[in-house]
Structure 1
Amino acid sequence: MRTRIEFGTAGLRARMAAGWSCMNDLIVIQASQGLCQYVLKNVENAASRGVVIGHDHRHNSQRWAELTAAVFVHAGFKTYLHRGLGAHSAFQALQILCGIMITASHNAKDDNGYKVYWENAVQIIGPHDKGISASIKANLEPQTWMTEQLHSLCLDRTQEMKDAYFANLASLNRSRVLNGQSRVKFVNTSMHGVSDVFVSRAFESFGFPPYIPVVEQQQPDPDFPTVAFPNPEEKGALDLALRTADAHGANYVLSQDPDSDRFCAAEKGPNGQWTVFTGDQLGTLFAAQTLEHYKSAGKPLEKLAMIASTVSSKMLEAMAEKEGFKFAECLTGFKFIGNTALDLVKGGYEVPFSYEEAIGFMFGDRIRDKDGVSATVSFAELVVALTNQGKTVHSYLEEQYQRYGYFQTLNSYFVCKDPSTIDKIFERLPELSQIASLTITSVVDLTTGYDSTNPPTYKPSLPLSSGHMIQFRAKQKDDTKVVLTTRTSGTEPKIKYYVEANGVDPTAVHNVLTKVVQELGSTWMEAEKHHLGHP
């Protein structure tokens, strides 16, 4: 037997179907056997330390969690099998060897996935990813398919894990009394996912009055019937929630993705128009909130650190430079953010908040992963505090722009299904010296391992990317600056781009951003020549 499905981005994620490159019973068993044998060979007392397994509500999720458990039970592992639907971060409380979550996050309904956490409760990175991949190929012959009487052979610590999760969440609560007195109305949608029961309990824990649910999307439904794509970032995904808020006179909409690890929010302005905040805007808001709490606690700023992925806004970097705390960046993905946080903690820093632009936010010092529930109540608490001061979230964001500079982002992608064309595009990019009349001031190529700002070795501080990835910085004479990052997707035939302009004049920033994006497609990517698709 042989498998072609890739294991490396903290696990597996693919369309559910028969075949070597899809998610199915055989692939799950093979992945589990490979992981099982890898930890047995590389970790002392692996079987007695155990493994915890959880799942979301997607088609086949429960079955594949049980098949995974069967493999580990068969190998003599102490196996904790989560009972019922689990929110993404709620199963990480046990001090075990590794964790497995069967979920495809915000992917389409036909997808599912297999996400792996190591003993530090962070998603796996190298060398474990390559080691597990090799172990899978060496252990392809199925050893067991049996799930009968499985639950009697697995340990049930579900309630304990949930209680530990909410105890940690309660430590983030800053103003319970003020929350209880608030008259702010919140509408929440779980996007047909698992988050409603978790967010409801979190609201109660933080002292908020109950939110108004989007009833049509409140209960888990693996077919996601009211949305074309179950991702709060997608255009139109929040339409039903916004209509619900209008009908109830609510000014704020909260949303989590199906497995509850991402968060999105919207605010209704005085003119009745809704603003859906981007991941970078939310990251800026949460960072400012975190900084205020840290200062008010009288803690030394030189011991504070925050992290953002390299494709996220550089506004957090600007905040750190002005305020005196440490900023760190890493590759995209919370497997990198979580491990970077742990390294900073070892170095004596406190890391209370980190984020990536794809609406992923990490709070506190216990869960080193993105978590939509903690982001939801943190945002609601920010709203209540600002309302009490006569402010809005939008006005608070403008205050940050006034203090640190105006930052605006525009992120999207091109579709290209020909790998050779993608190679040609990325080979050409480092040779370009201008874009939209801006001069390129630095190039960091994480495909080849080149950083123009780091002589004499010119080696980048970040590790190489598994695919193509190049970041350019450019500036105009008026000191308006641009950061342009483009990379290939690990799961889709896309060339993604992230463009951010910043300066003191919002109009100038917007104009530069628009020109850069236009020229990126027409001149840099040569979209027409290469027949690239664009949303």
Structure 2
Amino acid sequence: MIYVDPKILERVNTWLTPFFDKDTQHTIKEMIAHDPEGLEDSFYKSLAFGTGGMRGVMGVGDNRINKYTLGKNTQGLSNYIKAQFPNETYKVAIAYDCRHNSKELAKVVANVFSANGIKVYLFSDLRPTPELSFAVKHLKCHCGIVLTASHNPPEYNGYKVYWQDGGQLVPPQDGEIIAEINSLRYEDILFKENSELIEYIDTEVDEAFAEASLKNGSFHTPKEAKNNLKIVFTSLHGTSITMIPKVLEMAGYTNVTVVKEQEVPDGDFPTVSSPNPEEPAALKMATELSEKINADIVIGTDPDCDRLGIAVRDSLGKMTILNGNQAMVIMTHFLLSQYKKQHILNENQFVASTIVSTPMIQKIAQNFGVQYKEGLTGFKWIAKMVKDHPELEFIGGGEESFGYMVGDFVRDKDAVTATLLACEIAAQQKEKGSSLFEYLQEIYMETGYFQEHLVSLVKKGKKGAEEISAIMKQLRENPFTEIAGSKVICLEDYSTGERKNIVEGTSEEMEIPKSNVLIYYTEDGSKIAARPSGTEPKIKFYMSVQHSQNAPEEFQKKIEKISAHLNIH
């Protein structure tokens, strides 16, 4: 006889009532009979909102992405919108990516909103996530939804929520909405659409978004320089194919070669093991093509077009992938240089990054005399900075996970405008007889040399979540006093908001929202952060090493020593 935990069985039985469709009930009965482990993972908890909204494996159950879990989210969100904005004409925008079921789930979400009397602007086909952020403000919506799981594996999908400012949900709204969702029963969901309240959108918003991208990402690059830049672009089977080639063409870049094998949107991502530009293998086809045609730059984006990977030629002429920290260092430095050249830099401007990203951004900001702001992981916190400081002009900001945001017309990482910006920098550098790689070396000479390294440990399912929790518990209860031969001088625990000065034996409270992050600082300038991912079944270790001179082999030795000390590889 197969044993099923009574608490899980109680959840399961809810899904076997007549409210749920017959296919769902049949699948659950099959799992009860033949797959108790899968049943447990599908029902042991409810999917939660993380750093990038809600993501999960598609399937039946509370811990899966399906019409019922997303319907419940949308019903709770509908209730919240009407409570927050009484007597207004409610409006939402909805977009979706290339993933399996994204279009169908987007229509389910649209139906629920419309059934609650809310006007829906639904994109007629797949679109980049940053365009949804733009559309929320452009159409003066109360909120926006995009159905995407970003760069997660094919079996995943997700649900991102954006508020009036075009930024993702942040406290206290996220907690209030989650409380509203949790107070509902599935039977409370209004699924029957009001077709009169659903309007399909496409060209008008596309053109407005493209024009805004051009305005924010173009920097007076001569026509000849644009023509001389050889670009290889891959959408990795995702949504960026709908916008990036168009924006590059509008900007005057004529020498763009698209990786044909990866051009067609496909939720199976058949040519890559992972559609994540953070992983070198994802850009393999593009870099190989770049060698054949002697391209200057390779750009690849993730499925929903908010992250981008960049490869450029190094000092030996070999295509080298920039990590996310290096890419945002180049972009931030260039933006500030352009502002300085135009004599429009002042003390009422800021750039931004995150607690697990390179310290170089702060140093660059100091060198240019602009403010620097730092937040938790996730662009929702950078968007919140923009919202919280209307008296300041936001120039640009990024994080180590291959995301960048140029200006505030989009309030999330935006691979469309960032791609254009990267091409502008590359074209101008090539015109001067230089390159992006050489430009990065020049920036290192100004600020000192930093190298960052990320190790991600995949821990799937309920057991994996327990293992991740145990690792973080161990790091907190038995903190390191030294790492790779260097004494720990400071320890920041973002779950308690406490910063401990180990040398002086003092502590202080950090003015930042609570989060499950732990950061060690060592005597030799190294920084090591541990953080469970908010969107994937992973625990991530971020390492930053600083040296006064360019010594790549020393960087690598140090990173290896730290990894060995932490017992991660």
Q: Same fold (TM over 0.5)?
A: yes
Corresponding residue for residue 459 of structure 1: 509
Query: Are positions 1:61 and 2:102 aligned together?
Result: yes
1:281 aligns with 2:326: yes
| Larger mean Cα displacement after TM superposition, 349-358 or 152-161 | 152-161
- Of 134-143 and 236-245, deviating more is 134-143
Q: 1:407 to 1:429 in 2, by over 3 A?
A: farther
1:18-47: CA deviations, max 9, x gaps?
Answer: 11101011111111111111111223345x
CA distance in 2, matches of 1:179, 1:41: 55
- Alignment-derived partner of residue 130 in structure 1: 175
| Aligned counterpart, 1:82 | 123
Is the alpha carbon distance of 1:442 and 1:250 closer, same or farther for their aligned partners in structure 2, counting shifts above 3 Å? Answer: same
Where 2:280 maps in the other structure, the secondary structure is coil
Does the residue aligned with 1:59 lie in a helix, a strand or coil?
coil
Q: Aligned to 1:24, which of 59, 66, 70? A: 66
| Structure 1 residue aligned with 2:301 | 256
**What is the deviation of 1:220?**
0.5
Q: Which moved more, 1:101-110 or 1:262-271?
A: 262-271
**DSSP-derived class of the 1:89 partner:** helix
The answer to whether the 8 A contact 1:79-1:155 is kept is yes
After superposition, what is the alpha-carbon deviation per residue over 1:300-335, rounded to whole angstroms, capped at 9, x for unaligned?
332221000110000011112233211110000011
Partner residue of 2:243?
198
1:180 and 1:506 map into 2 onto residues whose CA distance is: 30
Q: Secondary structure at the match of 1:5?
A: coil
Q: Structure 2: how far apart are the matches of 1:385 and 1:181?
A: 8
Report how far residue 516 of structure 1 moved: 5.2
Q: Which runs of 4+ in 1 moved over 4 A?
A: 453-457
**2:458 and 2:97 mapped to 1: Cα distance?**
30
Distance 1:280 1:55 in 2: 28
Q: Residue 274 and residue 177 in structure 1: after superposition, are their counterparts in 2 closer, same or farther (change >3 A)?
A: closer
CA distance in 1, matches of 2:469, 2:75: 34
Unaligned runs of 5+ in 1: 528-533
Aligned in 2, Cα 1:250/1:28: closer, same or farther, shift over 3 Å?
same
C-alpha change, 1:367 and 1:491, in structure 2 (3 Å) is: closer
Paired amino acid for 1:451: R
Corresponding residue to 2:402 among 333, 348, 359: 359
Q: Does structure 1 conserve the Cα–Cα contact (< 8 Å) formed by 2:227 and 2:252?
A: no
SS at match of 2:508: coil
- Aligned counterpart, 1:409: 452
In 1, the alpha carbon distance for the partners of 2:307 and 2:180 equals: 31
The TM-score, its normalising length taken from structure 2, stands at 0.85
Alignment of 1:39 onto 2:81: yes
Q: Is the 8 A contact 1:408 1:510 kept in 2?
A: no
Q: 3-state SS of the aligned residue for 1:373?
A: helix
Q: Does residue 1:141 correspond to 2:187, yes or no? A: yes
Contact map agreement 1:10 1:117 (CA 8 A) in 2: no
Q: Whole-Å Cα distance in 1 between the matches of residues 469 and 442 of structure 2?
A: 46
Number of the residue aligned with 1:483: 527
Cα distance in structure 2, aligned partners of 1:353 and 1:455: 37
Partner in structure 2 of residue 218 of structure 1: 263
Note the C-alpha offset of 1:275.
0.7
Rounded to whole Å, the distance in 1 between the matches of 2:415 and 2:126 is 15
Structure 2: which 5+ residue stretches go unaligned?
1-13, 16-44
Q: Confirm or deny that 1:167 pairs with 2:211.
A: yes
Moved more, 16-25 or 36-45: 36-45
Partner of 2:242: helix, strand, or coil?
Answer: helix
Inter-CA distance 43–429: structure 2 relative to 1 (3 Å threshold): farther
Aligned residues: 513
Q: Secondary structure at the match of 2:282?
A: coil
Shift of 1:272: 4.2
RMSD: 2.2
Give the match's secondary structure for 1:141: helix
Residue type matched to 1:487 in 2?
Answer: R
Distance in 1 (CA, whole Å) between partners of 2:91 and 2:313 is 48
Counterpart among 544, 558, 565 of residue 500 in structure 1: 544
Taking the aligned partners of 2:352 and 2:557, their CA distance within structure 1 comes to 27
The structural deviation recorded for 1:452 is: 2.4
- What residue in structure 2 maps to residue 441 of structure 1? 489
Alignment equivalent of 2:275, drawn from 226, 230, 242: 230
CA deviations 1:87-124 (Å, max 9, x no partner) are 11113222110000011111111100010001111000
Counterparts in 2 of 1:429 and 1:490: CA distance versus 1, 3 Å: farther
Q: Does 1:154 align with 2:198?
A: yes
**SS of residue paired to 1:452:** strand
The residue type equivalent to 1:278 in the other structure is N
Question: Which residue pairs with 2:5 in the alignment?
Answer: none
- The question of whether the paired residues in 1 share the 8 Å contact of 2:97 and 2:128 is answered with yes
Following TM superposition, by how much is the alpha carbon of 1:520 offset from its aligned partner in structure 2, in angstroms?
A: 4.5
Corresponding position of 2:149: 104
Q: Relative to structure 1, is the Cα distance of residues 232 and 415 closer, same or farther in structure 2, using a 3 angstrom cutoff?
A: closer
Aligned to 2:518: 470
Native 8 Å contact 1:303 1:326 kept in 2 = yes
